[in-house]
Amino acid sequence: MNAGLRHRAWRLGADIDTDQLAPGRQMKHGLDVIAQHCLEGVRPGFAAGVRPGDVIVAGPNFGIGSSREQAASVLVHLGIAAVIAPSYGGLYFRNAFNVGLLLLTCPQAGDVADGETLAVDARAGRIVRANGEVLACEPIPGFLLDMVEAGGLLPQLKARFARTGARDTETP
């Protein structure tokens, strides 16, 4: 991700669960329908107002709950460039990278205000605020950064199967 890009922040609270991101009632539908209802309970107008390149800045425990990966892919679908939060549900963390959504673990995420613009450098693990303040993020294993840059696990598997034409072992 380009460190020079400006990302508009949508500020959310703590414990944003997978039902808020992808409501169970909508799960029988495709991503385009689920996306219309994303976060409608906690942030009405989010789905309609979000622009490609925006980021979500949330409180602790983002993505707790279900294994449904639509809760992560719906944010990719809506063009969210990254989620920035102090902590995540563990299953959500895996799902996000698998579907190509960057999650940055940032203890100081709470400092960011709604609507603020940020610069994000995933490889360096840093976020720069408009006032120049730098927020440090926890390092992400290289193979996960590669995965998110490839657009998720599916494109990686595609490349692997195209290359080998056969099964290959998954090495982190």
Which residues of this chain interact with other proteins, rule CB under 8 A? Answer: 15, 17, 19-20, 23-25, 27-29, 41, 60-61, 64-69, 72, 87, 89-91, 93-95, 98-99, 141, 143, 152-154, 157-158, 161, 167-172
* φ, ψ (nearest 5 deg) of residue 110: -60, -20
| Minimum CB–partner distance for residue 95 and other proteins (Å) | 4
Our CB check for other proteins shows the closer of 61 and 117 to be: 61
Q: Residue 1 or residue 31: which is nearer to other proteins going by CB?
A: 31
Residue 123 CB neighbours (<10 A): 12
Contact, 125 vs 138, CB < 8 A?
yes
Structure tokens at 165: 């034409």
Measuring CA to CA, which residue among 75, 55, 65 is closest to residue 17? 65
Q: How far apart are CB 94 and other proteins at their closest, in Å?
A: 6
> With respect to other proteins, which residue has the nearer C-beta, 54 or 69?
69
Backbone angles phi, psi at 26, to 5 degrees: -95, -5
